Structure 1
Amino acid sequence: MATDYEFKKIQIQRDDTTFDAYLVGKEDAPGIVVIQEWWGVDFEIKNNAVKIAKLGYKALIPDLYRGKVGLDAEEAHHLMSGLDWQGAVKDIEASVNWLKANGSQKVGVTGYCMGGALTIASAVLVPGIEAAVAFYGVPPPVLADPANTKVPIQAHFGDADDVVGFSDIKAAKALEEKLKAAGKPCEVHVYPGVGHAFMNTSPEGIARRKAAGQSEDCEPASQLAWSRFQSWMNKYLSA
């Protein structure tokens, strides 16, 4: 792997706490905060951060779980249930600020599953963001109302996603209505025949998705979503 795509572990300060984060990409590139799934900072979120770096960005993954990683769905659910979501938003804000203080003139946010929901929450609550791309996740109303987004949002869902109220087709359509009401640029894309976590296309990710009874062949949907992601971030971060 080229030097530009090797992770550097850093520490970021916010309020009275310090947390680890993982950085990959060129120093002077536009920044993108990459927010973990419910598993934690594991192989798959790092795979996606490297893909983002290869698109020409500096990707930063804040460790919201403070080093903990879910090894199975039960453990991941426990970790997500115990997450301080308001604190996670503060971690994301500190990550945005770190990128802007370290060579990135413009910064976007993206995330998957739990990270998708936090991406949308960040678009509402975190200053200094230029654009957001969320994958299969909508924040609870008590955290953030998508209708109040301050930045352009692109969102991606699978029409076979069965996580009711969070990333199923009904949640996707409700999000689209709220984003349109916000008056900011928005796109909500729904991919036929794929379920939750369809962006996880590594062998390990496919195996984990298969074990959960989810669709296996997500490569076409994933490639299209990456293309749309790149166009969206280029539009708002490269100008």
Structure 2
Amino acid sequence: MATSLLLLRRASSLFSSSPSPLSSSSSPLPRLARRIPLRSMAAAAAEPFQKIQIQREDTTFDAYVVGKENAPGIVVLQEWWGVDFEIKNHALHISQLDQGYRALIPDLYRGKVGLDAAEAQHLMEGLDWQGAVKDISASVNWLKANGSSKVGVTGYCMGGALSIASAVLVPEVDAVVAFYGVPSPQLADPSQAKAPIQAHFGELDNFVGFSDVTAAKSLEEKLKLSGVPYEVHIYPGCAHAFMNVSPEGIKRRKELGMTDGDLSAVELAWSRFRSWMGRFLF
């Protein structure tokens, strides 16, 4: 675990320059599981995702789409792991919220997935961040060209930072919900955001400068200057990646030293997500 924590701290440094225990007797997991369709790694391939290819400039990348056609679209951005079971869990859940959304996951790593923290860090360090923003722009435009009159962007950890960057750099974005991630000043200045932003952070997150409380409060100050609608929420007792509640996700978080767990916070965050996207996309 010490090695994993060291890798995460190194990842936090990279980000900033360019992520209450569960009790079997009292946990509300069975109730939450009925609301959120949790899928394991083995089941991920069987989910109803359509694999498509999106063209941008002189390159093509894969993306995965799920949900109602002609519904508002939401681009769902991966953590540093890549397009794995957890990001598909989130996209599937989003597609089934309220009246229904069309969720699209662009494959920013071009088919590669990190199976441990060292691989994930290596993939993230090799990411072309400006190119990733172009992938997001192409994904938003694909949804708008294929029946979604309005399109939002959401993301987690690395994807959270990129989702905020998209509010600054992609004019076609209609709303953003970011989870525990802030872009580096070199990538995007949140004070220049052009789309409404809602952001979620854990009080115990120790990714200094990227997703800790100080980063969250700094983001809030910058969003005040932007003039766009915004909300910044900090969840007491929650660490990084607190939205990951599948069995594998919980196991992976514990292996990385994140032993917190508050499913009421997860439910509250999803409730706020629903309100925000519903407000700006319908």
TM category (shorter chain) comes to over 0.9
Identity, in percent, stands at 74
Q: Distance in 1 between matches of 2:88 and 2:60?
A: 21
Q: Which runs of 5+ in 1 are unaligned?
A: none
SS of residue in 1 equivalent to 2:114: coil
Q: Does 1:90 align with 2:130?
A: no
What amino acid does structure 2 have at the position aligned with 1:180? K
What amino acid does structure 2 have at the position aligned with 1:52? I
TM-score by length of 2: 0.82
- Indicate which of 164, 168, 173 corresponds to 1:129: 173
Render the CA deviation track for 1:20-79: whole Å, top value 9, x for unaligned: 000000011100000000000000000000010011110000000000000001110111
Q: What's the counterpart of residue 6 of structure 1?
A: 48
Render the CA deviation track for 1:130-167: whole Å, top value 9, x for unaligned: 10000000000000000000010000000000011100
- Indicate which of 172, 197, 204 corresponds to 2:248: 204
Are the counterparts in 1 of residues 237 and 260 from structure 2 also a CA contact under 8 Å?
A: no
Q: Distance in 2 between matches of 1:38 and 1:31?
A: 23
Q: Distance in 1 between matches of 2:203 and 2:164?
A: 19
Q: Distance in 2 between matches of 1:49 and 1:75?
A: 23
- Number of residue pairs matched by the alignment: 235
SS of residue in 2 equivalent to 1:121: helix
- Indicate which of 86, 90, 95 corresponds to 1:53: 95
Q: Distance in 2 between matches of 1:201 and 1:166?
A: 22
Return structure 1 stretches of 4+ with deviation > 6 angstroms.
Answer: none
Q: Distance in 2 between matches of 1:32 and 1:112?
A: 13
Q: Identify which of structures 1 and 2 has the higher relative contact order when contacts are C-alpha pairs closer than 8 Å and 6+ apart.
A: 2
Q: What's the counterpart of residue 223 of structure 1?
A: 267
Are the counterparts in 2 of residues 201 and 218 from structure 1 also a CA contact under 8 Å?
A: no
Q: Which runs of 5+ in 2 are unaligned?
A: 1-36, 38-46
Correspondence 1:99-110 to 2 at 5 A: 99-110=143-154
Q: Please provide the CA RMSD for this pair.
A: 0.9
Q: Distance in 1 between matches of 2:157 and 2:102?
A: 21
Q: Does 1:29 align with 2:71?
A: yes
Greater C-alpha Rg: 2
Render the CA deviation track for 1:179-237: whole Å, top value 9, x for unaligned: 01111100000000010000101111000001111134231111100000000000000
